[in-house]
A and B are shown apart, each in its own frame.
Chain A
Amino acid sequence: MPRTGARCCRLAVSGWLSVLVLAGCTGGHVPLTPAGPGLIQPGTPNAVTDEVPVDVKTVWAIGSITLCLDGPGRVDVTSVAAYGGNVDVVGFGLRPNPFLAHGQMVGALDLTLKGLGIPAGPQALTIVCDQPAGNSYELVLQVRAGATSTRAKGVKVTYESAGQTRELSIEHGLILCLHPKDVNDATCKL
């Protein structure tokens, strides 16, 4: 048993040295900061999940997803998709934070982006996060129900910044539960 302990220590020391050597080798070759601004969620957002009751092929608007830039510049949001599941995101829209104009964000509504008056599709964003003032954008998803209930773990936003394609993953779960709800359908368990 003592020999096993000694070997464990040697492996541990060897591992530490490897980490130190690898860390030293990467210095100066990897850019520490990207050239352009990044897209972030302001503050320290909680993971949230929206569950909506759907009929086959109906569309819903799900919003209240807040985004802003982490520095001056511009990013171009090119696409938004769900990850970790099979929710069909058929469109997205971005608009300045409506709370700053005494409006409401979109929660979960059975409406289209057009019906809500929110411009759909790729957009250039320039607003820098400035908490607590709250300057930011609201991202609104247009999701479509399938033939069965669907769910996803979160939302992935793809954007361009200074010529680089980057992604932001947002822990905003989506559950589209076919109505009437089947209590045994695991997809619908929140």
Chain B
Amino acid sequence: MSQTGVADASVSNRINYREQVISCVLGATWQPYSTYDLLTDWAYAPHVNYSNCSPRLAGTKWATSTARNATWSYGVSFPGFSVSAQSGYGSSQQLTYDFAVKGFICGNSTQGPASSAQVSAHA
């Protein structure tokens, strides 16, 4: 499942989870088992420019994914730039930044975009 052209918006995927008991010793975990709704709850998300930036030339792409559930609430938009998001089954998500013009990936952490919980992009 993917969504292209996301711009200054927040969007949610709603997944149903079940508590799965492994054993009395090992305890229980929550596992996704069905989709409730995808790409829902669209809302305006003001654009944020984070200050820890790295330049990307036109024609490059930068993709980030998480190994855990995440809530993304950032939007990106500028002419010549597109962003797409792919979501797994509650366990992995991928966000791809496609630079049609020279731009920047910026993160909210001084440890770089890969270690940032939130990232933004601008020309």
Residues of A within 8 A of B (CB): 41-53, 63-66, 97, 99-100, 104-110, 131-134, 136, 138, 172-173, 175, 179, 190
Q: How far is the CA of A26 from the CA of B74 in the complex (A)?
A: 48
Residues of B within 8 A of A (CB): 52-57, 59-67, 96, 104-105, 109-115
* A190 engages B115 (CB within 8 Å): no
In whole Å, how far is B67's beta carbon from the nearest beta carbon of chain A? 7
* B62 engages A66 (CB within 8 Å): no
Q: Specify which chain A residues have a CB less than 8 angstroms from the CB of B64 in the assembled complex.
A: 46-49
Q: How far is the CA of A131 from the CA of B30 in the complex (A)?
A: 30
Q: How far is the CA of A51 from the CA of B85 in the complex (A)?
A: 16
One of A43, A49, A172, A179 near B59 (C-beta < 8 A): A179
* A107 engages B105 (CB within 8 Å): yes
Q: How far is the CA of A49 from the CA of B53 in the complex (A)?
A: 16
* A53 engages B59 (CB within 8 Å): yes
Q: How far is the CA of A52 from the CA of B61 in the complex (A)?
A: 7
* A100 engages B110 (CB within 8 Å): yes
Assuming the A-B contacts A46-B66, A97-B111, are A190 and B96 also in contact, with contact meaning beta carbons closer than 8 angstroms in the complex? yes
Q: How far is the CA of A50 from the CA of B57 in the complex (A)?
A: 11
Interface centre among B55, B63, B96, B111 (most CB of A within 10 A): B111
Q: Specify which chain A residues have a CB less than 8 angstroms from the CB of B62 in the assembled complex.
A: 48-51, 107-108
29 A-B pairs (CB sep. < 8 Å): A41-B114, A46-B64, A47-B66, A47-B67, A48-B62, A48-B64, A48-B113, A49-B63, A50-B60, A50-B61, A51-B62, A64-B54, A65-B112, A65-B114, A66-B111, A66-B112, A99-B112, A100-B110, A104-B104, A105-B52, A107-B54, A107-B60, A108-B55, A108-B60, A108-B62, A109-B57, A133-B110, A138-B112, A175-B61
